[in-house]
Amino acid sequence: MALIVQKYGGTSVGTPERIQAVAERVLKWRAQGHQLVVVVSAMSGETNRLIALATAVTADPDPRELDQMVSTGEQVTIALLAMALQSRGAPARSYTGAQVAVRTDKAYTKARIEHIDVERMQKDLQSGRIVIVAGFQGVDDEGNITTLGRGGSDTTGVALAAALKADECQIYTDVDGVYTTDPRVVPQARRLERITFEEMLEMASLGSKVLQIRSVEFAGKYNVPLRVLSSFAEGGAGTLITVDSEESMEQPVISGIAFNRDEAKFTVRGVPDIPGVAFRILGPVGQANIEVDMIVQNVAADNTTDFTFTVHRNDYRKVLSILEQVSRDVGAKEVTADDKIAKVSLVGVGMRSHAGVASQMFATLAHENINIQMISTSEIKISVVLQEKYMELAVRALHTAFGLDSVGVV
């Protein structure tokens, strides 16, 4: 008998019929003797409906009142799921974030969980009840309702699993697991049986948007085994996200290929190579609340340096105007910019113990006549920046070269 936390997103509970289906699924797990805590989101469309109401009243709704209102979305779903379970003879009880209580700080609309009271849930579980908890929401120490920000239901699920020391946290989504890469780009992409938290973080931040990155960090920090499953397809085992402790012989070198075409690249050339120059260039960018992704610096022979970095493509114009000023201040020779780039990354913990991954990557791209503009490496990831138009070709070639293509039918 295991204690399992399941989380169902808005699409999975989007209609009364789908809520019935979730109830059936929960009962299947219960029939196997497991204890269950179920976290649900608002029915799909509901949060947007509520926000539209707020916007109809004022262009700039107060964050406290917005949370007070938006949190009702999940409150409806938990009650409906409890009813569905009860109508099938299963004892179930729903709790809002405040009732559990999921205690957070006071950062309305993006609160962080500080503590979860588990006594009430544990008592319910011991008495045989299925516990249903509203995702995405909590309560501050004054009883004000807070929300964790969009996608926060995943975080609620993981945090509950951590607090309850659950055996597994299952995240039900509209995909049946984490894939070696986006199947829309590479039809041969394979579902991964397992992936490590670290790999998942690299995959998620690079565009494989299966899970909210915060929930993966959380799960890694508290060592909560996390499983991504389809709430529509029956019987799949999904992908288990877990610590990198059982490295098997069969561990592949590369787990997946992530990519991202939302970036823009800037190069500041001929900067005097003196201490503090990186800060003088990137400081103003950070102050403008712009997140910098990759940073590469090369020293040239003439005691100057070339400084290249990438940001989100939406910030292209803003960064350009910042750099005009900055490049004068630091005495740079020129600034070049390119918003037609893409980033492609190999991710895999196997890299740690395998040499030659980078050279195989570069050889593969060279063979396809794809020029590499920028390279950045970490312990479990190699990223390259290339012209956007080559992105799909690069991903497909690398997917095949590193043996990720599925054998037979997907």
Can you give the binding site for a second copy, defined by CB under 8 A?
Answer: 16, 19-20, 50, 53-54, 56-62, 64-66, 68-69, 71-72, 75-76, 78-80, 82-84, 86-87, 93-94, 96, 98-99, 143-145
Say which amino acid occupies 292.
V
Question: How far, in Å, CA of 345 to CA of 108, rounded?
Answer: 35
Residue number with CB closer to a second copy (80 or 148): 80
Residue number with CB closer to a second copy (11 or 20): 20
Residue number with CB closer to a second copy (37 or 311): 37
Closest distance between a second copy and the C-beta of residue 363, in Å?
Answer: 58
Residue length of the chain: 410
Residue number with CB closer to a second copy (56 or 409): 56
Nearest to 202 by CA among 256, 239, 266: 256
Closest distance between a second copy and the C-beta of residue 13, in Å?
Answer: 11
CA distances from 394 to 183, 257, 279, 387, 404 (A): 14, 10, 33, 10, 14
Residue number with CB closer to a second copy (126 or 369): 126
Starting from the edge strand earliest in sequence, which strands make up the sheet with 256-260, in order? 256-260, 341-347, 381-387, 374-378
| First and final C-alpha spacing in the chain | 33
Residues in contact with 233: Cβ distance below 8 Å, sequence separation at least 6, in sequence order: 176
Closest distance between a second copy and the C-beta of residue 398, in Å?
Answer: 47
Q: The tokens of 294 are what?
A: 């990759």
Residue number with CB closer to a second copy (150 or 328): 150
Closest distance between a second copy and the C-beta of residue 156, in Å?
Answer: 17
Closest distance between a second copy and the C-beta of residue 3, in Å?
Answer: 23
Closest distance between a second copy and the C-beta of residue 109, in Å?
Answer: 13
Nearest to 71 by CA among 144, 16, 6: 144
Residue number with CB closer to a second copy (53 or 300): 53
Closest distance between a second copy and the C-beta of residue 71, in Å?
Answer: 8
Question: How far, in Å, CA of 25 to CA of 232, rounded?
Answer: 10
Question: How far, in Å, CA of 7 to CA of 67, rounded?
Answer: 21
Question: How far, in Å, CA of 119 to CA of 100, rounded?
Answer: 9
